[in-house]
């Protein structure tokens, strides 16, 4: 599978080179984005293997994505990236398994966002956070797997510790995800879309689109 994916990367690189050869300004914008990211994170190994998601609680699908980009970056001698989509409306619903009526079920547990705030602005109160985490814990209590409950208890305490240190709720979630990636041996660079959207190369890119509509 990895050999196939390596070929996908080669194909993408060839396609981009063909694009740049006929569009000088697009190449310039790409170079500006690279320079901007290097200014924030230092030297960037290529190829860049990139994924992205909203800053939510780590669940199996996200773990697989991070494992995948981490493995690919290592195999290709490149770098792994996660673009944090914090500009989306904060629809923070977490699918939680529980056991009821003799079978496994799934419920969506959410944090209220009546004002439709983006993740950049969402900062749940302590009571809202407590209610959110307690509801998850109550669902997990029905599962016949004590290690799951133990793991969530550690997660809950780590989240509270980070908030006590002054981290915002969603930043703490991203920090814990990053820490777990490092435990798996994958060092993935996080970068927020909100920061990228305020950069010069992004403005240049939007101006390019407007000029060429």
Q: Which of 52, 176, 155 is nearest to 96 (CA)?
A: 155
Q: Any idea of the CA torsion for 18, 19, 20, 21, to the nearest 10 degrees?
A: 50
Q: Which of 159, 89, 163 is nearest to 119 (CA)?
A: 89
Q: What is the pLDDT of residue 1?
A: 63
* Vertex 44 angle, CA 28 and 199, to 5°: 50
Classify residue 46 by its DSSP letter: S
| Residue 122, φ and ψ in degrees, nearest 5 | -70, 125
Q: What is the pLDDT of residue 119?
A: 93
Per-residue pLDDT of the chain (213 residues; tens, 9 = 90+): 667 778 888 898 899 888 888 889 999 999 999 999 999 999 989 899 999 999 988 878 888 889 989 999 999 999 999 999 999 999 888 889 888 888 899 999 999 898 999 999 999 999 999 999 999 999 998 888 889 989 999 999 999 999 999 999 999 999 999 999 999 899 999 999 999 999 999 999 999 999 988
Q: What is the pLDDT of residue 208?
A: 95
Check: CB of residue 206 under 8 Å from CB of residue 98: no
Q: What is the pLDDT of residue 2?
A: 64
Count H helices, E strands: the chain? 8, 5
Q: Any idea of the CA torsion for 171, 177, 178, 184, to the nearest 10 degrees?
A: 170
Q: What is the pLDDT of residue 22?
A: 82
Coil vs helix vs strand at 149: helix
Q: What is the pLDDT of residue 4?
A: 76
Q: Which of 207, 178, 10, 191 is nearest to 86 (CA)?
A: 191
Q: Any idea of the CA torsion for 169, 173, 175, 179, to the nearest 10 degrees?
A: 150
What is the model's pTM? 0.85
Provide DSSP, 163-206: HHTT--HHHHHHHHHHHHHHHTT--EEEEEHHHHTTSHHHHHHH
């Amino acid at each position: 599978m990895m050999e196939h994916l390596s070929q996908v990367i080669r194909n993408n690189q060839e396609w981009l080179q063909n694009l740049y050869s006929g569009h000088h300004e697009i190449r310039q914008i790409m170079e500006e984005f690279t320079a901007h990211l290097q200014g924030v994170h230092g030297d960037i190994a290529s190829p860049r293997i990139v994924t992205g998601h909203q800053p939510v609680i780590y669940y199996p699908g996200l773990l697989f994505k991070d494992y995948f980009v981490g493995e690919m970056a290592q195999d290709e001698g490149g770098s792994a990236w996660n673009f944090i989509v914090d500009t989306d409306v904060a629809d923070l619903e977490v699918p939680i398994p529980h056991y009821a009526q003799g079978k496994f079920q799934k419920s969506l547990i959410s944090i209220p966002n009546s004002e439709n705030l983006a993740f950049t602005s969402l900062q749940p109160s302590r009571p809202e956070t407590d209610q959110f985490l307690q509801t998850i814990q109550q669902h997990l209590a029905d599962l016949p797997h004590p290690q799951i409950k133990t793991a969530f208890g550690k997660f809950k305490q780590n989240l509270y510790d980070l908030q006590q240190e002054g981290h915002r709720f969603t930043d703490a979630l991203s920090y814990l995800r990053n820490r777990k990636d490092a435990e798996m041996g994958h060092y993935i660079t996080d970068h927020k879309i909100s920061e990228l959207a305020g950069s010069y190369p992004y403005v240049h890119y939007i101006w390019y689109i407007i000029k060429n509509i």
